[in-house]
Structure 1
């Protein structure tokens, strides 16, 4: 496999030139627009804050990184959000973590840090600790007013084993005209935890950023290290990476079906999909010792081959594929189930395109990128992936159909991967060593079940100087505001499940 291309350090622009460049690349004719992938901050010298915007151009594989610096006594700039709505949450994070003020931002109430004290961890990329921030918890922000309108605080602690998130549902009774989201209950200071780690330890941290996408995060971090070191991953390692990534994808899509059928009261279907998910996780555990595929991916390759012989693995995957397809087909032929999916929680294609919606959420609205297809990595370029499935309606039904297509596609890839593993030479190399004194920059990505996962990495003398993970969950959850068009309270669990996101991956 070819070596990763080195990532050059982005050229530092003045704030005015930086904003102008962002506007130029993200506007114009739609086929030529660059996709906005994120806006991130890091501490610099003398208390300055550096802003890095990541874009993906339609005609290029490598990201375009635009960087500027704000001096300590001038931590403000004209907000991007009015012209670039996808920057809305990213700018709120900059305000929370670095004190940067995007002037003219529509809403700067806390997103990541609701309550701080001087003992909290320092800000990413610096030793400076954030100023205490104590919002009035009794003051619930409102966007909808009128006779009889009230707010239902749903969460952060909810029934069942679900993650901590608070949805502020504004309603006059049954209809939901507006939902606001508070995710800060989950904030863990993940980016700061990466600092000073070796690449070997860094991948352990990456696997725990978003547990349900452990393999994807390990891959994105590994790709960033490999790009920084200009490493080529051995063919056998690329195959093993694809194997675990696709097993993770199928397990996540099954989890979505568990939640959807449970919301519809289909007890048998819920039990069946939960059984298939459990069998898949146990198979993954038998292959590597971890139900979530942890400990497999390392920078430069993988730790080892699957512990199950290819012939036996192929047989188990075939049985799973048949059983899952049968039950999925039965669920999609259940009128009571389909009635709850059709027309529920539609995400307009125009909004999805403008925001750069990722994964199944974006592809259900005809707008989602797939890193495996657009910027293939590891063994994907040599496997018959084909174009990702897409729908146009953008509702819960469309998102379910996209996931059904992806599961079929994943089993096709798994069958090819196992066949290639069977043909491997017994002494095939599995890893390319990473230099001990690695210094440089890298931008790594991988297609998680939720969509594109992104890592910005800076290495100095073999240690992580700065690592910024961005999950598809963070990029997509803000769109939850946009999909309540005539939906009612009982539609809420269907819409939430159909997004298929993790709150741990949002509030990093």
Structure 2
């Protein structure tokens, strides 16, 4: 990790900016930005003192992911002006550490909720309570509650969420519209903030994986893998070959389940009841198969630092079950993608320009639907992926909901292709030492990654004698969700559920 030191932080931030811009020119990708409180402030992140800001860049080299850090005080010139992908990351720094990125275009709360009441002033009064005979003479609205960015005759704001129908996650979309078009959309995700980063501190490496699995429930295996890779990098541990195969098996089954879930939501948005039922059944078959293999529908309890806990349980005619499931999913996917009423709703809907996807460093199907391919199973391979053959990368450039959906079907097919290669390689029996090696009580820093269904998951873990002193988890959902407001050019309100479903993101994973 490169360290850039300065007294005020300004010189360090300028050097940080130059580092990332030079790496962009070399073809590297912005992967994140996070902060760590100084030693004196570790117990109370709200204390005064310098904060270490760390830039994360993903490369295609053997290094994989590079970190560059500098110290800043209470303010610094923002990076967003030159690195638009840092937009949300700098808002998080402001929320959690109080440091101000000077010149940032918007610093309203992102992961922390709005205050209960606006700052006291002479005009503000409490709202009338039910049953109270008195009413305030004047109400001054809190402009932070429903901010406006588009002005004109007939424009109004629709606050969609955070409580929505069905079992949708809690997120608030502020839709500014004249009635149908969506000239501006703001995403507010703080209803799901759980303080996961702080929850890691002080845990042992074995307890940390339990928390990682629950950081983003739909990607339990992906997070467990990225966390375990970080611990293994810190301790210099290589996992046994059977464990590497088991990890790929569970990761690919998780990918299939997530893409089927996105298909369910897309079909539901189109009102296609039969397709909703069919893909729901397919997803349930995958979840039950995962449970039969390891005892947990989400694949929890399998991936641990140093390897895995067990081989998959014997499942009768497993290969035949998978082959039949693959055939049925492909058949139903072809039927869905041949339904004109469905294609009419997703074609040209929610386009993400390839240039924007590349500049932002978009991840997963969102990126690949716009022609930007950075799959860390290929670019920075891990576990058993180097020995397995991958299908050709999806050739999609349109960047719309249709392109993202096509990518998902190609990824489902590829996941089955990988699982078919893994199964005959798995040993029938294996001892404990062939599945997991001890990582000991490592001290130092490790960086780990894994390709979840939503895209790349990153973990940076600092350890001291086997206990976590700092953990920064970054999901693909957080990184991609900041692009959500970019894709509504020419779309209307009824396109909204198709665009959201085509992104296939987890709000809980976006707000760790």
TM-score surpassing 0.5? yes
CA deviations over 1:202-223 (Å, ceiling 9, x no partner): 0000000000000000000000
Aligned-residue offset at 1:388: 3.1
- Once the two structures are superposed, the pairs formed by residues 27-38 of structure 1 within 5 Å of their partners are 27=21, 32-38=26-32
Select which of 424, 428, 431 maps to 1:419.
424
Q: Report if aligned partners of 1:39, 1:53 keep a CA contact under 8 Å in 2.
A: yes
Select which of 299, 323, 328 maps to 2:305.
299
Name 1:51's counterpart in structure 2. 53
Name 2:71's counterpart in structure 1. 69
Name 1:166's counterpart in structure 2. 172
Name 1:90's counterpart in structure 2. 89
Name 1:112's counterpart in structure 2. 111
Q: Report if aligned partners of 2:13, 2:70 keep a CA contact under 8 Å in 1.
A: no
TM-score computed with the length of structure 2 as normaliser? 0.90
Q: Report if aligned partners of 2:160, 2:174 keep a CA contact under 8 Å in 1.
A: yes
Alpha-carbon separation, structure 2, partners of 1:200 and 1:454: 18
CA deviations over 1:457-499 (Å, ceiling 9, x no partner): 0000110000010000000001011000110111000000000
Alpha-carbon separation, structure 1, partners of 2:29 and 2:279: 35
Larger Rg: 2
TM-score computed with the length of structure 1 as normaliser? 0.91
Aligned-residue offset at 1:18: 3.7
Alpha-carbon separation, structure 2, partners of 1:450 and 1:461: 33
Aligned-residue offset at 1:369: 1.1
CA deviations over 1:326-347 (Å, ceiling 9, x no partner): 1001101111111111000000
Alpha-carbon separation, structure 2, partners of 1:61 and 1:273: 40
Name 2:282's counterpart in structure 1. 276
Select which of 491, 494, 498 maps to 1:490.
494
Q: Report if aligned partners of 2:228, 2:306 keep a CA contact under 8 Å in 1.
A: yes
CA deviations over 1:9-45 (Å, ceiling 9, x no partner): 5424333454344433443696613211000011113
- Number of matched pairs: 478
Name 1:125's counterpart in structure 2. none
Alpha-carbon separation, structure 2, partners of 1:327 and 1:166: 33
Aligned-residue offset at 1:61: 3.7
Q: Report if aligned partners of 1:356, 1:368 keep a CA contact under 8 Å in 2.
A: no
CA deviations over 1:50-96 (Å, ceiling 9, x no partner): 111101234444312111112xxx31110000110000000000000
Secondary structure at the residue paired with 2:343?
helix
In structure 2, list runs of 5 or more residues that go unmatched: 41-48, 117-140
Aligned-residue offset at 1:419: 1.3
Name 1:202's counterpart in structure 2. 208
Name 1:374's counterpart in structure 2. 379
Name 1:478's counterpart in structure 2. 482
1:433 to 2:435 alignment = no
- Once the two structures are superposed, the pairs formed by residues 440-455 of structure 1 within 5 Å of their partners are 440-455=444-459
Aligned-residue offset at 1:283: 0.6
Name 1:353's counterpart in structure 2. 358
Q: Cα–Cα, structure 1 residues 348 and 427, in superposed 2: closer, same or farther, change >3 Å?
A: same
Secondary structure at the residue paired with 2:261?
helix
Alpha-carbon separation, structure 1, partners of 2:345 and 2:39: 54
Q: Report if aligned partners of 1:301, 1:432 keep a CA contact under 8 Å in 2.
A: yes
Please provide the CA RMSD for this pair. Answer: 1.8
Aligned-residue offset at 1:195: 0.7
Name 1:13's counterpart in structure 2. 5
In structure 1, list runs of 5 or more residues that go unmatched: 1-8, 118-134
Q: Cα–Cα, structure 1 residues 79 and 317, in superposed 2: closer, same or farther, change >3 Å?
A: same
1:322 to 2:327 alignment = yes
Secondary structure at the residue paired with 2:158?
strand
Q: Report if aligned partners of 2:88, 2:482 keep a CA contact under 8 Å in 1.
A: yes
Aligned-residue offset at 1:115: 4.2
1:24 to 2:28 alignment = no
Moved more, 33-42 or 164-173: 33-42
Aligned-residue offset at 1:141: 1.1
Alpha-carbon separation, structure 1, partners of 2:309 and 2:273: 40
Alpha-carbon separation, structure 2, partners of 1:295 and 1:62: 27
Name 2:397's counterpart in structure 1. 392
Name 2:126's counterpart in structure 1. none
Q: Cα–Cα, structure 1 residues 204 and 390, in superposed 2: closer, same or farther, change >3 Å?
A: farther
Alpha-carbon separation, structure 1, partners of 2:259 and 2:22: 36
Q: Report if aligned partners of 1:151, 1:169 keep a CA contact under 8 Å in 2.
A: yes
Name 2:161's counterpart in structure 1. 155
